[in-house]
């Protein structure tokens, strides 16, 4: 009693009833029209998914269970006085919809520590990966290997009643979240350092443990950044590639390991999470090309134009749904203003904040010329000595797991069905309208 799992068990009957009521009252109402453009254009704007953990407003940005990022910073328990909220706290919030007390958040820290071990064969698989296998591919590989221990897969094979699917889904999800810092840090230590890694400290919080494992134990600034980072990247409603993929694969009753691995394979694409590595690479390439540390406005403008003229995107800008600056970008900007306002790369990011939207607006086709979350994260990490850009998306993935697995527990608790939208051929579209 008092645990997160006990709270979920209490909430399930209420939520099942709520869904039943929504279906009875509004089941045959329309959520909007679906046009041919939408079907061809990446399903943009189609309201076709149920996702309770967060919702995105095009202008305001993300709300996690109803709370904006500044509200989370105010309401969620922090580890240090006045510090950033913690991933443990947002995990509780995302799963229950309720702001946890400090004791409840602490119970998650303890629970995750107790689940944080990885089998030797998974470590061995990672040890055998060539150093030039992308860290995201290694992460996906490790998750697929960890699947051997899936409690859901075993329960299903043993004939579990569908009313109870949520329970092993919850267990697997908590296990995955607990093990991710070990897996992620092992990849980091193997690829960039000597392969040696410390152990989980049961007294430390999730982010401190992750920082310790990565080899940043004495870097308090980095650990605070990690807390903020791991909170703001958790969830971005259901339609983004990583969330939607996890949900889709999970709908086939693939277990949480397989579902998350699939989602993270999507996160590894440059138009999605990989953009965070691309941003810093692009900025550093500009400096190198110009041979300067402080490019002028004119030089930045020209570099942006060259990027567009060569048929590439400006990484970190634009969004499929957002139409204003991403509040996750703003949260990171505020962190930078507080802790590193004189950093030269931060000053370039600040200049880009003003210059890129002008260039993109001039081009005339981009629907959102403003920065997204990925435009900022790299320079913050780099400031604290975390310079390995190719690794950045792994941090995004560790955070995203918290959001998409919270929803996956509810997918199974609510008995959501296998996802299977209808597709059309070009001929069938013609046939519909050219009678």
First to last CA, the chain: 63
**Which of ligand MLT, ligand NMX, none interacts with 316 (beta carbon under 5 to 8 A by kind)?**
ligand NMX
**Which of ligand MLT, ligand NMX, none interacts with 394 (beta carbon under 5 to 8 A by kind)?**
none
- DSSP secondary-structure letter at 67? B
Nearest to 184 by CA among 384, 391, 383, 380: 391
Give the position of tokens 């609510």.
414
Q: CA–CA separation, 265 vs 245, rounded Å? A: 9
Q: Restricting to residues 269-308, which ones interact with ligand NMX according to CB under 6 A?
A: 271-273, 275, 308
- DSSP secondary-structure letter at 101? P
Q: Considering the complex, what minimum distance in angstroms separates the CB of residue 37 from ligand MLT?
A: 18
Which residue in the set 61, 318, 327, 357 belongs to the binding site for ligand NMX (CB under 6 A)?
318
Q: Say how many C-beta atoms besides its own lie within 10 A of residue 345's C-beta.
A: 19
Please identify, using beta-carbon distances, which residue of 53 and 169 lies nearer to ligand NMX: 53
Residue 345 near residue 300 (C-beta atoms within 8 A): no
Element (H, E) at 54: strand 54-57
Residue 348 near residue 295 (C-beta atoms within 8 A): yes
Q: Considering the complex, what minimum distance in angstroms separates the CB of residue 328 from ligand MLT?
A: 8
Q: CA–CA separation, 406 vs 168, rounded Å? A: 13
Please identify, using beta-carbon distances, which residue of 19 and 55 lies nearer to ligand MLT: 55
Q: Considering the complex, what minimum distance in angstroms separates the CB of residue 94 from ligand MLT?
A: 14
Which residues participate in catalysis according to the annotation? 272, 319, 374
Which pairing describes strands 61-64 and 54-57: parallel, antiparallel, or unpaired?
Answer: antiparallel
Residue 33 near residue 22 (C-beta atoms within 8 A): no
Q: CA–CA separation, 106 vs 112, rounded Å? A: 10
Q: Considering the complex, what minimum distance in angstroms separates the CB of residue 69 from ligand MLT?
A: 13
**Which of ligand MLT, ligand NMX, none interacts with 367 (beta carbon under 5 to 8 A by kind)?**
ligand NMX
Which residue in the set 145, 243, 320, 401 belongs to the binding site for ligand NMX (CB under 6 A)?
320
Q: Considering the complex, what minimum distance in angstroms separates the CB of residue 313 from ligand NMX?
A: 4
Please identify, using beta-carbon distances, which residue of 263 and 315 lies nearer to ligand NMX: 315
Please identify, using beta-carbon distances, which residue of 365 and 422 lies nearer to ligand NMX: 365
**Which of ligand MLT, ligand NMX, none interacts with 204 (beta carbon under 5 to 8 A by kind)?**
none
Q: CA–CA separation, 265 vs 311, rounded Å? A: 25
Instruction: Work out the widest C-alpha separation in the chain, in whole angstroms.
Output: 71
Q: CA–CA separation, 65 vs 54, rounded Å? A: 5
Say whether residue 90 binds ligand NMX (CB under 6 A): no
Q: Considering the complex, what minimum distance in angstroms separates the CB of residue 46 from ligand NMX?
A: 13
Q: Restricting to residues 362-381, which ones interact with ligand NMX according to CB under 6 A?
A: 365-368, 372-374
- Number of residues this chain uses to bind ligand NMX (CB under 6 A): 20
Q: CA–CA separation, 114 vs 135, rounded Å? A: 26
Phi, psi of 108 (to 5 degrees): -70, -40
Q: Say how many C-beta atoms besides its own lie within 10 A of residue 187's C-beta.
A: 24
Length reported for the chain: 435
**Which of ligand NMX, ligand MLT, none interacts with 353 (beta carbon under 5 to 8 A by kind)?**
none
**Which of ligand MLT, ligand NMX, none interacts with 378 (beta carbon under 5 to 8 A by kind)?**
none
**Which of ligand NMX, ligand MLT, none interacts with 77 (beta carbon under 5 to 8 A by kind)?**
none
Give the position of tokens 């941003």.
279
Conformational region of residue 66, where left means phi above 0, alpha means psi within -120 to 50, and beta covers everything else = left
Please identify, using beta-carbon distances, which residue of 205 and 374 lies nearer to ligand NMX: 374
Q: Considering the complex, what minimum distance in angstroms separates the CB of residue 278 from ligand NMX?
A: 7
Please identify, using beta-carbon distances, which residue of 134 and 272 lies nearer to ligand MLT: 272
**Which of ligand MLT, ligand NMX, none interacts with 424 (beta carbon under 5 to 8 A by kind)?**
none
Please identify, using beta-carbon distances, which residue of 221 and 269 lies nearer to ligand MLT: 269
Please identify, using beta-carbon distances, which residue of 277 and 372 lies nearer to ligand MLT: 372
CB-based burial, 292-304: b 16+ in 10 Å, e otherwise? eeebeeebbbebb
- List contacts with ligand MLT (CB under 6 A): 236, 240, 272, 320-321, 372-373
Q: Considering the complex, what minimum distance in angstroms separates the CB of residue 372 from ligand MLT?
A: 5
Contact residues: ligand NMX, CB under 6 A? 271-273, 275, 308, 313-320, 365-368, 372-374
């Amino acid at each position: 009693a008092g645990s997160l799992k006990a709270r979920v068990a209490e909430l399930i009957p209420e939520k099942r009833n709520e869904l039943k009521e929504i279906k009875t009252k509004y089941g045959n109402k329309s959520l909007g029209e679906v046009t041919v453009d939408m079907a061809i254009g990446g399903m943009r704007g189609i309201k076709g998914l149920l996702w309770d953990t967060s919702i995105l407003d095009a202008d305001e940005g993300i709300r996690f269970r109803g709370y904006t990022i500044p509200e989370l910073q105010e309401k969620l328990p922090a580890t240090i006085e006045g510090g950033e909220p913690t991933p443990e706290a947002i995990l509780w919030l995302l799963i229950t919809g309720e702001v946890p007390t400090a004791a409840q958040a602490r119970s998650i820290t303890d629970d995750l520590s107790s689940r944080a071990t990885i089998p030797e064969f998974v470590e061995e698989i990672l040890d055998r990966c060539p150093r030039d296998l992308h860290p995201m591919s290694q992460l996906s590989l490790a998750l697929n290997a960890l699947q051997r221990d899936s409690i859901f897969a075993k329960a299903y094979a043993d004939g579990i009643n569908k009313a109870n699917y949520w329970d092993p889904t919850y267990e697997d999800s908590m296990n995955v979240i607990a093990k991710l810092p070990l897996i992620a840090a092992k990849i980091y230590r193997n690829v960039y350092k000597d392969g040696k890694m410390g152990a989980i400290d049961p007294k430390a919080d999730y982010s401190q443990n992750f920082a310790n494992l990565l080899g940043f134990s004495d870097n308090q600034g980095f650990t605070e950044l990690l807390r903020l980072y791991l909170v703001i990247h958790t969830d971005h409603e259901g339609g983004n590639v990583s969330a939607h993929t996890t949900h889709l694969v999970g709908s086939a009753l693939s277990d949480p390991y397989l579902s998350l691995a699939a989602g993270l394979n999507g996160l590894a694409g440059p138009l999605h999470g990989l953009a965070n590595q691309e941003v810093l690479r692009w900025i550093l390439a500009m400096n190198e090309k110009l041979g300067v540390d402080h490019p002028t406005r004119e030089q930045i403008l020209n570099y942006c134009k060259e990027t567009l003229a060569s048929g590439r995107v400006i990484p970190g800008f634009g969004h499929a749904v957002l139409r204003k600056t991403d509040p996750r970008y703003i949260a990171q900007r505020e962190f930078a203003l507080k802790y590193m306002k004189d950093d030269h790369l931060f000053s370039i990011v600040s200049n880009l904040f003003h210059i890129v939207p002008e260039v993109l607006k001039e081009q005339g086709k981009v629907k959102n010329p403003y920065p997204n979350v990925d435009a900022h994260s790299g320079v913050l990490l780099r400031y604290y000595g975390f310079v390995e850009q190719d690794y950045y998306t792994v941090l995004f993935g560790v955070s995203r797991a918290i959001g998409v697995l919270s929803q996956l527990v509810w997918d199974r608790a609510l008995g959501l069905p296998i996802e299977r939208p209808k597709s059309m051929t070009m001929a069938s579209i013609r046939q519909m309208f050219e009678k």
